[in-house]
Amino acid sequence: MILLHGGPATPGYMKPVAMKLAKHFRVLEPFQRRGSAEALTVARHVQDLQEIIVKYCGGDKPLLAGHSWGAMLALAYAAGYPDSVGALAVISCGSFDPASRKRLEAVYDERMDEAFRQHIEELEEKYPNPNVRLAIRGGLYQRLDSVDLVKSENCLCRCDAAAHEQTWNDMLRLQAAGVYPQAFTTIQAPVLMLHGDDDPHPGPMIRDCLKPYLPQLEYHAWGRCGHYPWLEKAARKDFYTKLIHWLRG
């Protein structure tokens, strides 16, 4: 199986999930392409993933599991290569429509206090390196994304702010052009969507946006669970049980 990190361009933090799943599957955890002079696109990420699958999967159809942006990439890949995927698990999936993003921003706004807002405003001055700033910002927002997390090792590797911005801007462009989620009608594989009820990314709205194009989509959510279900005290055990059982099936 192939495990896809989110961000975009924030690799490494999925290590605990990879280690757990490696007890049951052969797991590949590719770190997605970094930024360069040529602007990154969703198509480039999809092609990179196809090259990895051709090289390492020996003609087998891998299982794909992606978190956040990685879930979106998994869906984009499966739409482009529908005959190359065995099954898809989309964890805390990102948004595919303006209404879901508007709700996300509203929830963030509700959860911020003035101290948090002040800290965010000071990031550019305190951290002039945009890659460092992206990592710090992600750590801060994890507080808004979560309910009650277990203590865990920080496995985040070097972030890439340029790759993050280029990739996300291209995804927004493709959504505005009507490419996604409409292209997902070509996906033939089973799809499981796992989400936390307390994730600021509105699970039911994202599900309902995807469902017309993915009628086979199954949805499972947990209470007292945010954007990182494998770290949430109330959900982590059942998260692994559900994910592994479904993928084995």
186-207 pLDDT, tens digit per residue, is 999 999 999 999 999 999 999 9
Rg (CA), the chain: 17
135-178 pLDDT, tens digit per residue, is 999 999 999 999 999 999 889 999 999 999 999 999 999 999 99
Of 242, 227, 169, 216, give the one whose Cα is nearest residue 75.
216
Q: How many CB atoms lie within 10 A of CB 192?
A: 20
Phi, psi of 45 (to 5 degrees): -65, -40
pLDDT of residue 84: 97
Statement: residue 71 has pLDDT above 90: yes
Q: How many CB atoms lie within 10 A of CB 43?
A: 12
Percent of the chain predicted with pLDDT > 70:
100
32-54 pLDDT, tens digit per residue, is 999 888 999 999 999 999 999 99
pLDDT of residue 37: 85
Percent of the chain predicted with pLDDT > 90:
96
User: What would the mean pLDDT of 69-89 be, rounded to a whole number?
Assistant: 98
Phi, psi of 232 (to 5 degrees): -80, 130
